Amino acid sequence: MSAVVHGPGAPAAPAGPDTATRAKFLPYLLLLPGALWLLIFFVIPLVQLFTVSLQSQFPGYPGYYYRDVNFKNYWAALTEFAPHFGRSLLFAGIATFFAFALSYPLAYAMAFKAGRWRGLMMICIIAPFFTSFILRTIAWRQILADEGPVAKVLNTLHVLPGGHITETWMAVVAGLTYNFLPFMVLPIYASLERVDPRVIEAGGDLYANGFTTFRTVTLPMSMPGVLAGTLLTFIPAAGDYVNAELLGSDRSTKMVGNVIESQFFKVPGGYPTAAALSFTLMALILAMVFVYVRRFGTDELV
């Protein structure tokens, strides 16, 4: 009998000369199916997408392209669609900030104040997922519409610039904030839950001021969760096109996602441009993630 379950006290050390060989192959055996799946259906497609992003069009034959190493697609992607990139990052950034502002009190209350209501609150956060994300986004469109209650109230008070919410960036940001909120709440909650409430009491005892305690004790202790939450919100928000499509206007609120989608499905021969846009977006996001993780560093993510 070799070690199927390694003695957890010494996961690294070989269990003994007789079992060492089997133990050496076992992790690879466990890893193999999942890793193969990701290799074939994640890594190879990305490589393929990259080669597509370097292809050139046959002149005069829209929709036909040949293998090439053509970086012009990237240049076009960056110049022609720069405003879309800007909007994607900006909208996602604002939405991430609002999601954080809404999530923190909720996560905090769940971790420290909710008591036996904690489980119910958790269900309330996850449950809306099951009413389709598209259905809920469309619901927001109707709620925020010009004849809907929100726009009417704001217009009566004359505080709404332009008089509309839908078809503006505000609706898009609101939609992004709403849709990715749970991705912010759950990691923050997970990290706050691990904080011993007595530590916070000790903070209150030593500083005797709620805000100072929060700033110097609670917030730093929840940073890993905040970090994970902002990434889990920002990344999908920056790549989203459904909110811009359903809540925004045809021109002034389109994000990179919308361009990629239409280049793929609506523009003949748009594949190389769409691929270049995809790679640029991914590179931008990975670079930001890298800088962000370096800056607020944690190794809990991986």
Partner 1 sequence: MSAVTQSRGSAYKPSTGKRIQAWLADRFAMIAAVLVLLYLFVPVAYTFAFSFNNYKKSNITWNPEGSPTLKHWKNPCGAPGVCDSLVKSLEIGAIATLVATILGTLVAFALVRYKFVGRGAGNVLTFVPMATPEIVMGASLLTIFVQGFSRVGLQLGFWTIVIAHIVFCLSFVVVTVKARVQSMDPRLEEAAQDLYAGPTATFWKVTFPLVLPGIVGAAMLSFSLSFDDFIITNFVSGSETTFPKFVYVSYLRGIPAQANVVGFSMFVIAVSLVILAQVIGNARKPK
Partner 2 sequence: MSGFRQAQGDLRLESVTKAFGDFKAVDDLSLTVPRGSFFALLGPSGCGKTTTLRMVAGLEQPTSGRILIGDTDLTGSRPYERPVNTVFQSYALFPHLTIRDNVAFGPKRRGHKDAATLADEALVLVQLPHLAGRKPTQLSGGQQQRVAVARALVNRPEVLLLDEPLGALDLKLRRQMQVELKRIQTEVGLTFIHVTHDQEEAMTMADTVAVMNHGRIEQMGAPARLYDLPSTAFVANFVGQSNLGVGTISGTDGDFLVADVGGSRVKIPRSRSRVQQGPVMFGVRPEKVRIHRDRPTGVGSDMQATVRDVSFTGVATQYLVTVASGATWSVYEQNLDVEPIDLHPGDQVWLSWDPGHAFGVPAEGAEVPDGPVLADVTITEPHVGAAPIQDAP
Q: Are 237 and 180 in contact (CB under 8 A)?
A: yes
Of the candidate spans 2-10, 96-104, 150-158, 206-214, the one that interacts with partner 2 by CB under 8 A turns out to be 2-10
User: Rule CB under 8 A: is residue 66 a binding residue for partner 1?
Assistant: no
For residue 6, the minimal CB distance to partner 2 (Å) is: 12
Stretch of 79-87, 130-138, 165-173, 199-207 contacting partner 1, by CB under 8 A:
130-138
Cα–Cα distance measured from residue 222 to residue 230, given in angstroms and rounded to the nearest whole number: 12
The CA-atom distances, in angstroms, between 46 and each of 50, 212, 275, 276 are 6, 47, 9, 11
From the list partner 1, partner 2, none, which binds 302 (C-beta under 5 to 8 Å, kind-based)? partner 1
170 binds partner 1 (CB under 8 A): no
b or e along 118-152 (b: 16 or more beta carbons within 10 Å of the residue's beta carbon)?
Answer: beeeeeebeeeeeeeeeeebeebbeebbeeeebbe
| Residue 100 binds partner 1, judged by CB under 8 A | no
Q: Residue 259 is encoded by which pair of tokens?
A: 């361009």
CA pseudo-torsion sign 76, 77, 81, 82: negative
Binding mask 6-45 for partner 2 (x = CB under 8 A): -x-xx-----x-----------------------------
Would you state the structure tokens that stand for residue 253, as one six-digit string? 């609120």
Q: Is residue 5 part of the contact set for partner 2 (CB under 8 A)?
A: no
**Could you say whether residue 17 binds partner 1 (CB under 8 A)?**
no
**Contact flag: residue 207 with partner 1 (CB under 8 A):** no
The answer to whether residue 152 forms part of the interface with partner 1 (CB under 8 A) is no
Q: Copy the structure tokens of residue 9.
A: 């006290």
Q: What is the DSSP string of 56-80?
A: EEPTT-TT-EE----THHHHHHHHH
Q: Total number of residues binding partner 2 (CB under 8 A)?
A: 4
By beta-carbon proximity to partner 1, the closer residue of 114 and 223 is 114
Q: How many positions of this chain bind partner 1 (CB under 8 A)?
A: 97
- Determine, following the binding rule CB under 8 A, whether residue 208 of this chain makes contact with partner 1: no
DSSP 6: -
Least distance in angstroms from the C-beta of 289 to partner 1: 6
- The residues of the shown chain that bind partner 2, judged by CB under 8 A, are 7, 9-10, 16
